[in-house]
Structure 1
Amino acid sequence: MKNVLSVSASRRSVLKKSFALTCLTVMGVSGLAVPHISFAAALSQAERDSMTPDDVIEHFRQGNLRFRENRPAEHDYIGQKRSSAAGQYPAAVILSCIDSRAPAEIILDAGIGETFNSRVAGNISNPDILGSMEFACAVAGAKLVLVMGHTGCGAVRGAIDNAELGNLTGLLDKIKPAIAKTDYNGERKGSNYDFVDAVARKNVELTVESIRRDSQVLKNLEDTGKIKIIGSMYHLNGGVVDFYDA
C-alpha cells in the first residue's frame, strides 16, 4: 500500500480550493494511512484574500482538531519567517487571556504570519485593543475577530471573589458585569469552577458585544460581510475550542 496522500482538508484547501497539499503519512496499527500536513510558508495575500470569515473559522476548527489529536502541522517556522518578512497577511485577530495554559496559536495550530494576537487577563476589551483590532481588519485585511476565553480562568475567579491588587483591581472590575448577567442556580462562588466557567462564557459574550458597540469601524465591516466577530471557549481539559458564531 502506498503511503503518499494528497490532502485537501487543510489550510491551503480552505484558502485555495484547487491547491493540493503534499503530505507525508505514517502507518497506524490499523494499517490505515494518516496524513501529516506541512506548511512551508506564511499566508500570502492572495491566499488570505480568497478566504471568507467562515473559511477562517473552519480553518481554526481543523487546527484545533490537529492539536487535540497531537498531529500538528509541520510548520517550517524559518520558511514562514522569511516569507513574511516583507509583509504580513494574517487571516484573523485573536483576543485571548494571558493564561500560560491557553496559547491561542498553539491551540489552533497556527503559524507565523497567520494571526494577530492580543492577550490580557480575562480577555477584556479596551480602546487600545480596539484600535489594534481596527488596524488588523480595516488596514491589514484580517477576516475574523475571535475572542477566546477559557475554563478555569483565574481572572474570572478573582472578579467573583472581589480580589484587589494594584492595577489588577480595575481590570477585574471590567469582568464583574458578566457575574451579574450569568444565569446560574448553583453556588455563585469562585471556589465553584462550574460557576467560574459559566461567568467566563458570559464574559466572552459581553466582550463580543462591547467590540461591536465601541468600534463603529469593526461593526461596519461586519455589517457588510467583510469580517465576523465571534466568541469561543477553550477547555483546559480535553483541549476543545467551542466557537460561538453569533
Structure 2
Amino acid sequence: MKKTAITKDQQNALTPNAVLQDLLNGNRRFVEGIPEGSDNASLINQTTTGQYPKAVVLSCIDSRVPVETILDQAIGDIFVARVAGNFENTDILGSLEYSCNVAGSKLILVLGHESCGAVKAACDGVELGNITAMLENIKPAVRKSVNEIEGEANSSNKEFVAKTVENNVRLTIERIRTKSPILAEMEDFGEIAIVGGVYSLHTGKVMIL
C-alpha cells in the first residue's frame, strides 16, 4: 500500500515513543531492503497546502547518510536539519523550535554517524577557513573523550573517534535542552522527546544512545 501524507489529526495522536519506534522500523526496512512504496506525485499534491511532520532530525551533511532514505520516510514525514558534525547553533535551535512548537513534531533525533569527517577533523585540530570556527562546536566532545579513551587522541584512534561521535551527540542534546527553554519545557511535559543515535556506515543501522 502506498504511503499517504500525515494529517494534523494523525500528528496530534502520535506520541514521542511511537514516533521513535516508527523511525526505527523505517531503518529496519531500509537495512532489510523492503522500503514502503511511495507515490511522490500524490504526496506532493497532498502536502501542497500544509505539512505535519512527526519528527525533526539533526544530522551531519555526509552524503552517505541520506536521512529520509535510511529511515524510510517520505515527503512530508520529517523535518531534517543538516550541518557538518550535527551540532546545534542559534539557527538550528530556531529550526528545532519551529519544528516542534509551531509545526507539531513529536521527536528530535540528533543523529551522528560512524567515522564522521567533521569529528575526525576536530580530533586532529584542523584549521582551515571557516571550518576552524565550525569545529569549535565539536571540541567539547573531543575533550570529553580524552578522559574516557586510552591511546592517541586523534583520528588515527578509531575507538577515540567513535567515542567522540557519541559524546558529540550527547553534548548536543544537553545544549539543546540548556539553550532552548521552549524545547526543554515541551520535553518535561512529555510533548516531545529528544534522543540521540549513531548511524553505522558498515551496516546501515541506527543505534539509539
The percent identity for this pair of structures is 46
More displaced stretch, 92-101 vs 182-191: 182-191
Q: CA deviation at 1:232?
A: 0.6
Moved over 3 A (4+): none
**Higher share of residues assigned strand:** 1
Whose relative contact order is higher, 1 or 2, with alpha carbons under 8 Å and at least 6 apart? 2
Which of 42, 64, 85 is matched with 2:27 structurally?
64
State the 1:110 CA deviation: 0.4
Matching of residue 203 in structure 1 with residue 168 in structure 2: yes
| Corresponding position: 1:50 with 2:1 | no
Aligned to 2:200: 235
Deviations 1:33-79 (A, max 9, x none): xxxxx31x211111111110000000011000000001111111111
Q: Does 1:222 align with 2:196?
A: no
Once the two structures are superposed, the pairs formed by residues 52-131 of structure 1 within 5 Å of their partners are: 52-131=15-94
Give the RMSD, CA atoms, in angstroms. Answer: 0.9
CA apart distance, 1:187: 2.8
Specify the code of the residue in structure 2 equivalent to 1:177. Answer: P
The question of 1:135 aligning with 2:98 is answered yes
SS in 1 for 2:150: coil
The whole-number CA distance in structure 1 between the counterparts of 2:74 and 2:80 is 12
Question: Which residue number corresponds to residue 185 of structure 1?
Answer: 150
Stretch deviating more after TM superposition (177-186 or 49-58): 177-186
Q: Structure 1: how far apart are the matches of 2:180 and 2:117? A: 28
1:100-130 C-alpha deviation (Å, 9 max, x unpaired): 0011111100000011110000001001110
Higher gyration radius (CA): 1
Q: Tell me, in whole angstroms, the C-alpha distance in 2 between the residues paired with 1:142 and 1:225.
A: 12
Q: Matched residues in 1 for 2:194 and 2:44: separation?
A: 28
- Distance in 2, matches of 1:164 and 1:103, equals 27
| Alignment partners' CA distance in 1, 2:128 and 2:5 | 41
Q: Which runs of 5+ in 2 are unaligned?
A: none
Instruction: Find the aligned partners of 2:100 and 2:47 in 1 and give their Cα distance.
Output: 18
Count of aligned residue pairs for this structure pair: 207
Q: CA deviation at 1:194?
A: 2.3
Equivalent in the alignment of 1:9: none
TM-score norm. by structure 2 comes to: 0.97
